[in-house]
Amino acid sequence: MPPSAKPILCYVSDRKGLPADARGGEAALLEALERAAAAGVDWLQIREKDLPGARLAALTRAAQERASQKTRILVNDRLDVALAAGAGGVHLGEESLPAEAVVRWLRSAAGAASAPRDFLVGVSCHALGAARGAERAGADYVFFGPVFATPAKAAYGAPQGLPRLGEVCRALQIPVLAIGGITVENAAACLAAGARGIAAIRLFQDAADISDTVRRLRRAGLPS
């Protein structure tokens, strides 16, 4: 990452890790999203795969109302919800629509009329080949990981490690965000390996002082 570039910080939501309320934790999640935006997190990815479309769209709209105008809201998996709710992008996983199909539609007349010009398409990748494929498909960025061990990403196999993260970052022209077991202490190593930013759930969601966490992560991106 260029020394002058500010690292992209992305909070990936998980309302089931928050205290539940009568609405299934959505009120608590909105408060967490609002705190993250106020602290200076750049992107908020709403990753609530079990919610039906109408509730997910309502949650996304409410998050945008509470977030700073500088904060980009991304919706995991659901392109339809992202567009209906006026989100800033969609993040695709292994079981989502293919990135090539999504990008092709967004570049069509119908897509151009439905999405803002700066609408982002991101893809989660767990191998160099998949990351290269996402870039060829026209994705704007990728998540790569898990870089370190983490229960949330155990299903995706052993940690990739910093050398493999660096290999992916060097191979791609689009931004790579490191994900999986990211902490304040190891974030600098991810950025030094070439990551353009970091994405995490617990790092932001469980922070005792999220503003301090964001400040420390910003310092991690500064040249030593």
Distance CA 178, CA 124 (A): 10
In a domain, 50, yes or no: yes
The whole domain housing 100 covers 8-122+175-220
The pLDDT value recorded for residue 201 is 96
- Give mean pLDDT in consecutive 10-residue pieces for the chain, a chain of 224 residues: 74 89 78 96 97 96 92 97 97 94 97 95 97 98 94 72 98 98 97 97 96 94 64
Spatial CB neighbours of 224, under 8 Å, sequence gap ≥ 6: none
- Residue 101 is assigned to a structural domain of this protein: yes
The structural domain count of the chain equals: 1
Burial grade of 1 (CB within 10 A; 0-12, 13-18, 19 or more): buried
Q: Which residues contact 219 (CB under 8 A, 6 or more apart)?
A: none
Task: Identify the CATH number of the domain in which residue 81 sits.
Answer: 3.20.20.70
The token pair that represents 134 in the structure block: 């996402």
Q: Is residue 137 part of a domain?
A: no
88, two tokens? 């800033």
Residue 152 in any domain: the answer is no
Task: Say if 32 falls within a structural domain.
Answer: yes
Is 18 part of any domain?
yes
User: pTM for this one?
Assistant: 0.93
Amino acid at position 55, single letter: R
Assigned domain for 153 exists: no
Please check whether residue 2 lies inside any domain of the structure: no
